[in-house]
Structure 1
Amino acid sequence: MRNSALRLLSAVLLGLCAAATASAADEISSWGRPIVDAVPTPSPPSIEAPSFILVDIDSGTILAQRRPHEPWKPASLTKMMTAYVVFRELSAGHIDLDDEVSISEQAWRTQGSRMFVEVGSHVAVRDLLQGMIIQSGNDAAVALAEHVAGDERTFAQVMNQEAERLGMKNTHYTNATGLPDSEMRTSAFDSARLAKAIIQDHPEYYGWYSQRSFTYAGIEQHNRNRLLWRDESVDGLKTGHTRAAGYNLTSSAQRGDMRLIAVVLGTANANARAQQSHQLLNYGFRFFETHRLVSAFQPLEEALGPIEEPVRARAWKGDEQHIELGVGRDLFVTIPRRERQNLRASIHVDDRIVAPVERGEPLGTLEIRLAGEVVHSEPLVAMHGVDEGGLWRRVIDDIWLRFQ
């Protein structure tokens, strides 16, 4: 059992390293920019949570925040990462939703909120996930950790590897449940980033976060996220509470094509965390809107209309003389409502581009402005590759370059 768990852990860690591509790193570094104050908008609501954040999932624009990077006790928000690791294992085919998990005495004895599994019984991964997500069962979380990695301590190492890969710089896990530990920590910003990963990386499992109740062994328990009853646009994610942490909530809602994530940490009670989260979400949807301006590798003129600068670049010493320019991923911007028509685009292309050039290689910058201020800056990339030209082309272009 131990050897198989170690082999599994090695496979997981190798997978994490392989997944940490340059493009993923770029996306992480660009996610979480404050809204540009180009056009006056009402101030965010005054709420009492000592730490909070409101962010658009697609553009990564922060619409409201208070000490978003401050370390905080996660409590059961920890189970978001527990679930995320299990989702990745499911997607990789290492485990299956129908796997029967043997419930250990360690899982059965876990204190706090429970799904009420019995020691020695066998419970499907599917049921354990629902028991953890909906009922916040600590016993279910430990059982899943043991099934994936052999023991909870090893599983926590995988959780921290995932946190590092996702750019969660103020997060550290020591267990799968969120039960108190002096070394456990997260932040509002990191919790929002994790929520984004759950929603976008594993949409096939996200529906469980909107499920209002779950019955296991004849015991029905209700989801502690009160917003699921107050607002139909809210479809997740997770509550958390301990004496040290206070009342935490990571929530998400979608209205039309716009999805927001709100995180409040350290509120006074369960009703306060729901009310303050709802205030943040309503503020974001009321005063802002998000637009997909350009799709990945879509011609810029087709997406943005006429642009003063050329949308292609000179390719020196190549078998083609020009390269069409675009963006390597979908480009979203979040701006105050009714300002879409006032956006302006400009491009800045590198002075000397010498073949060979690979598709997706950065060659300049696209800037989106509102009222004269840059609201988004995105690398311009080659829409197609250009191979090195023949000897004659290289010689001629080398001569021309000497005079540039």
Structure 2
Amino acid sequence: MEPNKRPVRLVSAISALLVGLLFTMFIGSASASAAPAKNSYSPNSLGLEVQSAILIDADTGQVLYQVKQDDVRPPASMTKMMTEYIVLEEIKEKRLKWEDIVTVTKEAASTPADGSQIYLAEGDKHTVKELYIAMAVGSANDATVALANHIGGGTEQGFVQKMNETAKKLGLNTAHFTSATGLLDTTVISAAELAKFARILLQQHPEFLEYSKLQSYKFRERDKNAMVNWNWMLGSNKNVTSFKKFAYEGLDGMKTGYIGAAGYCFTGTAKRGDMRLISVVMGAGSKESRFYETAKLLDYGFNNFEKKTVVAPKSVVKDAETVKIKKGVSKSVPVVTANDMTFLVKKGVEPQISEPKVTLLEEDKLVAPIKQGQVVGSATYSYKDADTGETIEKKVDLIASEEVEKGSWWRLMFRAIGSFFVGLFKGIVDLF
């Protein structure tokens, strides 16, 4: 009987081996589909392992580096920056106050538990400020929806309509919002326009950073633990054991994000000296890598660029040294630039700046009296980046460098008579 059993055992062993191989191949295939393969990222000189990215100067909007920046992708919780912007706008316009009480709706309390939240119950009452900080620090989806309900007439979709109207007004042409939180993958925007929006947010509401830089926040006194900021790159985390390897000098904002369709995302901003940069990475492979890739971008910016002043404040512009005015003690007024003209350029490179394009106010607006410092026109300078080919334009006001009083009736009358005879004499000369 023993000889007859050997073939059966051999076949069973081979079958088991084949099943094991097939299972290993299946698991390997599934793992590969769970995260982008390393070689699926677009080749780039910084070795960024992201689906898209951009780095800009916060002051001018000048693009310093980009990878597939115009691809339209889900931003995940970076969507909340628009919600934060609208809240700040409502406060600015005095339609909302930080101390206003928000009553949590059923919709907000029913926010899916598969994301960040502070476990609000229907009927809970909290101030706008409490909910805003929960959104900014802990990326709390239920707090976000509660604020959206409060501003949007009771529903999240009412607020979403406001989000899209705001995006259109700000010129964010790739942006389409379907939720206030970013939990839906139907919300989309490009990295380029997300950076553009982040710049608008910082320029119009610098107070945003007061909240985005908070390391933690205890929402309720009874809460056992405080919520911890998802932005592990905060410069203030340099002494926090868990995050010090991510902490980046000068970084004080802005927003992380993750859903399956988006991958790991991060919009960051850091300031060193007089330079503030804004970066966006979308579609990174892990929580940690989105910060490592951001550091590559910011390092490139801070290590390779510097601000260069090409026009000093109170400078005289060629061919616009003076401006003619009407009805003044003088017929013209000296003109200078209101402030300096600075561009961000590669270190060690002398920027080639074009001759300025001068635009003066209409004649009927250049009438005495003219005050010192009064704007009388503008000068536009342009600089072409040799690496990107992008032309950056900056405009500076031209102002009167001294005061010109209105001329007396007698002065203006005799000036008119003099002009009449000068014109008459010239007309006679032209006859011969």
TM-score by length of 2: 0.70
The match for 1:68 is 69
Q: C-alpha separation between the residues in 1 aligned to 2:300 and 2:277?
A: 10
Q: C-alpha separation between the residues in 1 aligned to 2:338 and 2:107?
A: 47
Bigger mean CA deviation after superposition, 319-328 or 65-74: 319-328
Say whether residues 1:333 and 2:343 are aligned partners.
yes
Aligned-partner SS, 1:231? coil
Q: C-alpha separation between the residues in 2 aligned to 1:66 and 1:370?
A: 17
Bigger mean CA deviation after superposition, 357-366 or 159-168: 357-366
Q: C-alpha separation between the residues in 2 aligned to 1:351 and 1:261?
A: 34
Aligned-partner SS, 1:203? coil
Q: Which amino acid aligns with 1:148?
A: I
In the TM superposition, what are the counterparts of 1:2-401 in structure 2 within 5 Å? Answer: 45-111=46-112, 112-150=115-153, 151-182=155-186, 184-217=187-220, 218=223, 219-228=225-234, 229=237, 230-291=247-308, 298-301=313-316, 309-315=318-324, 319=328, 320-325=330-335, 331-339=341-349, 346-349=355-358, 354-357=363-366, 360=375, 362=377, 364-367=379-382, 376-379=392-395, 381-384=397-400, 396=419
Q: Which amino acid aligns with 1:121?
A: D
Deviation at 1:121? 0.9
Percent identical residues: 30
Deviation at 1:360? 4.2
The answer on whether the counterparts of 2:307 and 2:344 sit within 8 Å (CA) in structure 1 is yes
The answer on whether the counterparts of 1:327 and 1:378 sit within 8 Å (CA) in structure 2 is no
Q: 1:56 to 1:352 in 2, by over 3 A?
A: closer
Q: C-alpha separation between the residues in 2 aligned to 1:269 and 1:255?
A: 27
Q: Which amino acid aligns with 2:132?
A: L
Q: 1:292 to 1:147 in 2, by over 3 A?
A: farther
Q: C-alpha separation between the residues in 2 aligned to 1:127 and 1:284?
A: 35
Deviation at 1:254? 0.7
Deviation at 1:157? 2.2
TM-score by length of 1: 0.75
Q: C-alpha separation between the residues in 2 aligned to 1:207 and 1:221?
A: 16
Q: 1:49 to 1:368 in 2, by over 3 A?
A: closer
The match for 1:32 is none
The answer on whether the counterparts of 1:356 and 1:388 sit within 8 Å (CA) in structure 2 is no
- CA offsets 1:278-316 (integer angstroms, 9 cap, x no match): 110011000101246668xx5224xxxxx6x25424426
Q: C-alpha separation between the residues in 2 aligned to 1:116 and 1:134?
A: 15
Aligned-partner SS, 1:300? coil
Q: Which has the larger radius of gyration?
A: 2
Q: C-alpha separation between the residues in 2 aligned to 1:152 and 1:241?
A: 20
Q: C-alpha separation between the residues in 2 aligned to 1:176 and 1:369?
A: 39
- CA offsets 1:314-346 (integer angstroms, 9 cap, x no match): 426564533544557774310112446x67674
Q: Which amino acid aligns with 1:356?
A: K
Bigger mean CA deviation after superposition, 325-334 or 113-122: 325-334
Q: C-alpha separation between the residues in 1 aligned to 2:266 and 2:183?
A: 16
Aligned-partner SS, 2:307? strand
The answer on whether the counterparts of 1:318 and 1:355 sit within 8 Å (CA) in structure 2 is no
Q: C-alpha separation between the residues in 2 aligned to 1:189 and 1:159?
A: 18
The answer on whether the counterparts of 1:357 and 1:386 sit within 8 Å (CA) in structure 2 is no
Q: 1:367 to 1:311 in 2, by over 3 A?
A: farther
Deviation at 1:200? 2.4
Aligned-partner SS, 2:293? helix
Q: 1:140 to 1:52 in 2, by over 3 A?
A: same
Q: 1:129 to 1:322 in 2, by over 3 A?
A: same
Q: C-alpha separation between the residues in 1 aligned to 2:47 and 2:63?
A: 16
* Structure 2 gaps, min length 5: 1-43, 238-246, 368-373
Aligned-partner SS, 1:164? helix
Q: Which amino acid aligns with 2:125?
A: H
Q: 1:344 to 1:75 in 2, by over 3 A?
A: closer
Q: C-alpha separation between the residues in 2 aligned to 1:349 and 1:216?
A: 54
The answer on whether the counterparts of 2:57 and 2:278 sit within 8 Å (CA) in structure 1 is yes
The match for 2:37 is none
Q: Which amino acid aligns with 2:139?
A: S
Aligned-partner SS, 1:250? strand
Q: 1:232 to 1:157 in 2, by over 3 A?
A: same
The answer on whether the counterparts of 1:314 and 1:353 sit within 8 Å (CA) in structure 2 is no
Q: Which has the higher contact order (CA 8 A, sep 6+)?
A: 1
Deviation at 1:78? 0.7
The answer on whether the counterparts of 1:198 and 1:206 sit within 8 Å (CA) in structure 2 is no
Deviation at 1:54? 0.3
The answer on whether the counterparts of 1:316 and 1:352 sit within 8 Å (CA) in structure 2 is no
Question: Aligned pair count?
Answer: 350
Bigger mean CA deviation after superposition, 60-69 or 80-89: 60-69
Q: Which amino acid aligns with 1:268?
A: G
